[in-house]
Amino acid sequence: MSYLITRIIAQVLENNKLPGAICSLACGGADIGIAMAKDERIDLLSFTGSTNVGKQVAVTVQERFGRCLLELGGNNAIIVFEDADLNLVIPSALFAAVGTAGQRCTTARRLFLHESIHDVVVEKLMKAYAQVRIGDPWDANTLYGPLHTKQAVKMFLDAVEVAKQQGGSVVYGGKVIERPGNYVEPTIVVDLPHNSSIVHTETFAPILYVLKFKTEEEAFGWNNGVKQGLSSSIFTKDLGRIFRWLGPKGSDCGIVNVNIPTSGAEIGGAFGGNKHTGGGRESGSDSWKQYMRRSTCLSKGKNVVSP
């Protein structure tokens, strides 16, 4: 797919009398990434991937005083208050947690439910999970496909086991699906403490940790309590709470949503996050500035007009 997209872009460039090689694709492993990070001819290196690899990229690029734009991991949370519209909450949480089999940086990993609606939402969510059509991703009727590698399946199983050891209860899924390919069941885990190490770990798989909260302050604190800061959402009808969520004492993420899920991106908005998410931004008005070289230009002469 990447190859085909590159060919299309090259054709558009050539049709406009520009070299097609302006957009190139190099396929390879870590060797390609290391070479690019070390190459002084590359003024700006934009990297999308895990936080661990992003740290290595940042150090390597900084050693040559280059610039890098990092879009790394996310441990995204959805907070649902007692006044939320559950007709919005259930499909939103399902899409955010299960879409692309949990293999998206903006996937919802944590779901915070007010104690008064916790049991109702969990029950409804389990029923929604049971309706997910699993199968070949090339089939138009499929909603949920496989994980990308056998290693990802192992990481999924390991995370489920750790969640159980730390006090969690698997109320839906948790197993490998017996069929050709790297298929696992979309999974819901409840009863974990908010500060459990597994809850603070981004596992690139369809595991949703559901936590029960009492107060707004508690929920906002849990949202900000992880090292990543990519995407976040609240569901509420309280305008005062919405303003607090969007303000300095609210979400510390780069993407702050209200009554919509964590996954997805607005094409006109700056996409990226804070803290261990890397701080980079793609798309939107903030993006193009990072691809430019900033200069302060001074001149003196009779033909120079000053404002």
Enzyme catalytic residues: 71
Contact 230, 202 (CB under 8 A): no
Q: Note the Cα 127 to chain centre separation in Å.
A: 25
What does the DSSP 8-state code read for residue 162? H
Separation CA 114–CA 93 (nearest Å): 15
| CA-closest candidate to residue 164, choices 186, 203, 190, 130 | 190
Contact 76, 64 (CB under 8 A): no
Separation CA 209–CA 21 (nearest Å): 45
Tokens of 10: 């090259």
Contact 149, 135 (CB under 8 A): no
